Structure 1
Amino acid sequence: MKKSGGDVDEFLAAVTSPKRRRDAATMVSLMRDVTGREPELWGTIVGFGSCHYHYPTGTEGDAPISAFAPRRQATTVYLLDAGAHGERLARLGPHEIGAGCLYVKDLEAIDAEVLREIVAEDYRRVIDGDTGSATLTVTG
């Protein structure tokens, strides 16, 4: 994955769903606050910070440390391992999860403080290198 260099504000202003635009503004504020970093576009993903990952299999690349995307069906929050947040997810409110994604259809329907805890814990794990089998090096 590579940074696209696009304008985050322009990208978010072009999101057609008013709910997704609203939620995207909330996510930018939350992630900026948690990470202390400014948002950058990685294609259609809004990322905060960057790292290089390397798996024992030889797979490697670059990715944002924390990220989200305003998708048509839900806001997607990218995580190292969504399942690792079991107790927090139980308190979050309506959501779905995938291996490394948290899908939220309406940020106003969830507990914002719990979402902040999830994002902060995931960010800390990357910064501390607590990432399981992957080796991560913070690059930005």
Structure 2
Amino acid sequence: MYELKTKETDNSVIEFIETVESEKKKADAYQLLDIFTETTGYPAKMWGPSIIGFGSYHYKYASGHEGDAPLVGFSPRKAKISLYFATGDPEREKLLKDFGKHTTGKACVYINKVADIDEDVLKKLITQSISFLRETYPEGTE
């Protein structure tokens, strides 16, 4: 049976951030930690070895595949900072138009540094993502 790699762990968020090699990226990680914590009201938790997540939800697809994931999160990776918001939400695309310098992948939004983005739009993206996931998965949102 398939097992998810990205599970909530008891690892320390601060210890993880302290392992970030770039001092600038480390400072950005602490800034994002403050923004996400304040905006979500959830404590930061490590998901897998490198994702800092906030809240959680249980999803189940029509295929039968199911699991748990953070409502929102981020990861200060070597190349770029990955931001995790709900996929499939049309509001996300509208908000990203005013977000600032970023690129998007299938599930992630990538930024080079916090200074490149609009923090107010970031807070709206966080709030919208949580609202969307609560509506989509009302039974399993924490």
Aligned to 2:52: 46
- Counterparts of 1:62-81 in structure 2, within 5 Å, are 62-81=68-87
Unmatched tracts of structure 1, length 5 or more: none
Partner of 1:104: 111
Q: Which of 18, 21, 25 does residue 20 from structure 1 map onto?
A: 25
CA drift at 1:81: 1.8
Shift of 1:86: 2.3
Counterpart position of 1:137: 140
**Relative to structure 1, is the Cα distance of residues 122 and 98 closer, same or farther in structure 2, using a 3 angstrom cutoff?**
same
C-alpha offsets along residues 68-102 of structure 1, whole Å, 9 cap, x if unaligned?
Answer: 11111111111222773223211111100012111
Partner letter of residue 59 of structure 2? Y
Partner of residue 91, structure 1: 98
Deviation at residue 114 of structure 1 after TM alignment? 0.9
Q: CA deviation at 1:123?
A: 1.1
Q: Distance in 2 between matches of 1:82 and 1:101?
A: 12
Instruction: Give SS of 2:36's match.
Output: helix
Q: Percent identity over the alignment? A: 30
Detail structure 1 runs of 4+ shifted over 6 Å in the superposition.
none
Q: CA RMSD in A?
A: 1.7
In the alignment of these two chains, the number of paired residues is: 135
> Paired residue for 2:65?
59
The Cα offsets for residues 54-76 of structure 1, whole Å up to 9 and x where unpaired, read as: 10111111111111111111111
Q: What's 1:122 paired with?
A: 129
Mapped to 2, the partners of 1:82 and 1:93 lie a distance apart of: 20
The TM-score normalised by the length of structure 2 is 0.87
Which AA in structure 1 matches 2:9?
S
1:29 counterpart SS class: helix
Deviates more, 1:116-125 or 1:74-83: 74-83
* Cα distance in 2, alignment partners of residues 45 and 79 from structure 1: 12
User: 5+ unaligned residues in a row in structure 2: which ranges?
Assistant: 1-5
